[in-house]
Amino acid sequence: MKTWQIIGKISKRFYQLPDIKGAGKMILDPVWALKTHKSGTNELMHVIRGNVAVVLGKVRLEARAGDTLLIPKGVRHRDEFDLSVGLEAFYVFFDWSPCREYFSLVKPLDAARICATMSVEIGKLCDRMHVGLNSGTETDRLLISSYTHNILILILREMIRKDQGPANAERRRHGESLLAKAKEYIDVHYAEPVSLEQIAGALRISSFYLSHLFSRESDFSFVEYLTSVRMRKAKDLLLSGRENISETAYAVGYNDSNYFSKVFHRYFGVSPQAARCGPDRKQKYVK
């Protein structure tokens, strides 16, 4: 079963926040580099100073300042670092009800690689947790739980993207095709009271997904695209001089000519009346 299929079955469990058992900055004692040990909770370690190699059996997780590692509960490991330099890290110790499912999807080595590519984003969250420990209140603990959850889900998201691989490219091509059809629909029906729900129904997709496609694949929203089509058509009609402002407004889908005039002025920077002054003004309308 693919990662995204597994998550589809248990996603609600991932909504739960981790239970924070402890958090804070630690300067590791050399004993941790010499002896194998295990924690009674899951560990998130963000390296502040020094380099470390966390050895979990045959797996070796290497990290330097700015990197973050995840170590599952009960896994025996050893923290190897240069004793002359030392190691300073920010730790979060936590329990989480879906941790068994989570670590079946996100292996510590994969998490280390993902965290390395997202070190800036994850580092900011760790810095916020560190600062948030100042007063030590229950609200601080809740914030640390939220930030830890954010990091865990960011890592999971990247794992899903990696797992989907070629399916992502195919899904994007499908989305681009649907968006093109939506734009074609608007180009034909712009004079009607067209809505996102109406187009989504014609394409047999949800309006939420169609809105997402406009946001993901375009530089503008559905409403912005519809407005741009209507304004370009209105500009052509006004410059032709064949119709007055009220007729033009109605021809491009506006029943209120005053509202149409406001939209036109906001879009082009001139009033519809100015647009009817003649062909010599065509060069002003470049949108």
Does the structure show a pLDDT above 90 at 198?
Answer: yes
Three-state DSSP class for residue 122: helix
Edge-first strand order for the sheet with 78-80 is 59-63, 52-56, 78-80
Q: Do 172 and 149 share a domain, yes or no?
A: no
Three-state DSSP class for residue 90: strand
Q: Contacts by 24-30 with C-beta closer than 8 Å and gap 24+? A: 24/90, 24/91, 24/133, 25/88, 25/89, 25/90, 25/91, 25/130, 26/88, 26/89, 26/90, 26/91, 27/86, 27/87, 27/88, 28/79, 28/81, 28/86, 28/87, 28/88, 28/89, 30/83
Write out the DSSP string of 245-263: HHHHHHHTT-S-HHHHHHH
Q: What is the pLDDT of residue 40?
A: 92
Q: Do 149 and 48 share a domain, yes or no?
A: yes
CATH code of the domain containing 238: 1.10.10.60
Of 125, 110, 100, 105, residue with least CA distance to 61: 110
Q: What is the pLDDT of residue 37?
A: 86
Q: What tokens were used for 142?
A: 């809740």
DSSP single-letter state for residue 132: T
- Region 255-261: mean pLDDT is 94
Q: Do 207 and 240 share a domain, yes or no?
A: no
Q: Do 238 and 207 share a domain, yes or no?
A: no
Q: Do 206 and 235 share a domain, yes or no?
A: no
Q: Do 41 and 181 share a domain, yes or no?
A: no
Q: Do 66 and 27 share a domain, yes or no?
A: yes
Q: What is the pLDDT of residues 49-70, one digit of tens each?
A: 899 999 998 899 999 888 999 9
Other Cβ atoms closer than 10 A to 152: 23
Greater confidence (174 vs 41) lies with: 41
> What is the dihedral angle through the alpha carbons of 37, 42, 46, 52, rounded to the nearest 10 degrees?
30
Q: What is the pLDDT of residue 11?
A: 66
Q: What tokens were used for 267?
A: 């879009």
The separation between CA 184 and the C-alpha centre of its own chain, rounded to angstroms, equals 28
Between β-strands 52-56 and 88-95, what pairing exists: parallel, antiparallel or unpaired? unpaired
Q: How far apart are CA 182 and CA 187, in angstroms?
A: 9
Domain total of the chain: 3
Q: How far apart are CA 69 and CA 80, in angstroms?
A: 14
Does the structure show a pLDDT above 60 at 6?
Answer: no
Does the structure show a pLDDT above 60 at 214?
Answer: yes
**Residue 232: which domain range?**
224-284
Confidence band of 283 (pLDDT split at 50, 70, 90):
very low
Q: What is the pLDDT of residue 5?
A: 52
Q: Do 34 and 93 share a domain, yes or no?
A: yes
Q: Do 65 and 13 share a domain, yes or no?
A: yes
Q: Do 18 and 99 share a domain, yes or no?
A: yes
Does the structure show a pLDDT above 50 at 74?
Answer: yes
